[in-house]
Amino acid sequence: LKTVFERVGVSDDSRVILYGDASVLPATRAYFTLDYLGHGATALLDGGLHKWTAESRPLAKETPEVKQGRLTPRPRPEVVVDINAVKDLSYAATNAPASSPALVDARTAGEFAGTTAASSEIPRPGHIPGAANLYWMQTQASKDDMSLVSEADLRKLYESIGVTPDRPVVTYCNTGMQASQSYFTLKYLGYDTRMYDGSFSQWSA
């Protein structure tokens, strides 16, 4: 990871702004990765390249010369939750939901209910017991506009599933992509947030 980010010019003092085109997920996954590495000065371009071009902002086609960065990773393993910790979280969320950390499933309602199969990488459908479901796309303006909805609306969405600012949160999805968007959004709101990177592909196996 150090080599990859240094190759595109990321240094310890860099302000990193991430964006994607049709989907925000690659950018939020990169955000989670840099957050794990301890690089705090990282942000997302709200709406990504799609909104940028829709607003007639300038584009370039040439590949710029990039000066090699110097990044000192300061890993934060606490932001990554492993399967053993999730087993304990699941038990707590099932038996004492009000006092336990919140477990948030970022997948569709159909995947959460086990009525829609995501792919062959999910051997058993359903969700982790005790989890609440909020599809990550519900926090975006629309399928075509990858901007976040307002902060007030974001808080209402999460509070509607019992996720309040006083509760730590662990996000998951199928493979850690959709969950990274929820991770970013909850961090943006100031929540104490972690991610189960193995997600449902590991859990269901």
Q: Please report the sign of the dihedral spanned by the C-alpha atoms of residue 90, residue 95, residue 99, residue 104.
A: positive
For residue 167, the SS3 value is coil
Number of C-beta neighbours around residue 70 at 10 A: 13
Q: Which two tokens stand for residue 89?
A: 């979280």
d(CA 191, CA 204): 27
Residues 6+ apart with CB under 8 A from 55: none
Query: Which H/E stretch holds residue 159?
Result: helix 151-159
Catalytic residue check, 141: no
Catalytic residue among 81, 122, 134, 173: 173
Number of C-beta neighbours around residue 72 at 10 A: 10
C-alpha distances in Å from residue 77, one per residue of 15, 17, 178: 22, 23, 20
Q: Give 170's strand partners.
A: 103, 194
Q: Give 42's strand partners.
A: 16
Q: Mind telling me the catalytic residues?
A: 173
